[in-house]
A and B are shown apart, each in its own frame.
Chain A
């Protein structure tokens, strides 16, 4: 079975401080993992993906994620939050390249 657990439903950070959004996964297969972002009243946009190449993945807008197999984690980080980062973030695991399982989402608030 495949599943994704996003450990925080809400995260608040001050502008200019680091961002950490946590994601744990379970998968019967070597997973493909993704982070998607959804800005208010907008569609979903791919931030980054892990597909068994380098364990540290760089995405758009300065975001990174590190795949840690021993911890079954794929946490999303950014060194310095910007106001425009305020959005809903989804961690996603892909099963056999056919079914995408989304986490319940983490709402990121950036305080000026």
Chain B
């Protein structure tokens, strides 16, 4: 059971380049999300998804796109990288509580992070 897997672990981009950060989970979690972590800012939510085909914006969505075609995968796309997107990115997933109709998530399962530098 691998949990939440993020690839790559490190990436260097030039301004204007595009790339996709991959996130996969093998726990059949409905909820998946992307965060960026910057010094002194904590973690800020970029986008999240409550199931295949459903995505929504978080606090800082600009410059990022997501899609959720399967339960397992939640890729984060940078269409035109900017230096302001230099950060550590974390993917996290969670599950619906048993017996609950709503998406009541209690615990986030985090990937190990992707360190992205945009020059």
List the interface of chain A (C-beta within 8 A of B): 6, 9, 32, 36, 42-46, 49, 51, 90, 94, 97-105
Contact = CB atoms under 8 A, between A and B. Distances in A.
A98 B56 contact: yes
Contacts of B35: 102
Contact of A99 (B48, B110, B113): B48
A97 B41 contact: no
Give the interface SS of chain A, mostly helix, strand, loop or mixed.
strand
A97 B102 contact: yes
Interface string B54-69: 0010110000000000
Contacts of B105: 94, 97-98
B106 A105 contact: no
Contacts of B102: 97
Best-buried of B31, B33, B43, B58 by chain A (most CB within 10 Å): B43
Contacts of A99: 45, 48, 58-59
Contacts, number: 54
A97 B103 contact: yes
Contacts of A36: 108
A97 B104 CA distance: 5
B74 interface: no
Nearest to A46: B107
Contacts of B45: 99-101
A98 B103 contact: yes
Contacts of B104: 97
Contact of B110 (A44, A49, A97, A103): A44
B38 to A, nearest CB: 10
A90 B43 contact: yes
A103 B102 CA distance: 25
B99 interface: no
A44 B108 contact: yes
A89 to B, nearest CB: 11
Contact of A104 (B42, B48, B110): B42
A42 B50 CA distance: 26
B43 A98 contact: no
Closest 10 CB pairs of A and B: A102-B42, A102-B43, A104-B42, A43-B110, A97-B104, A44-B110, A46-B107, A43-B112, A105-B42, A97-B103
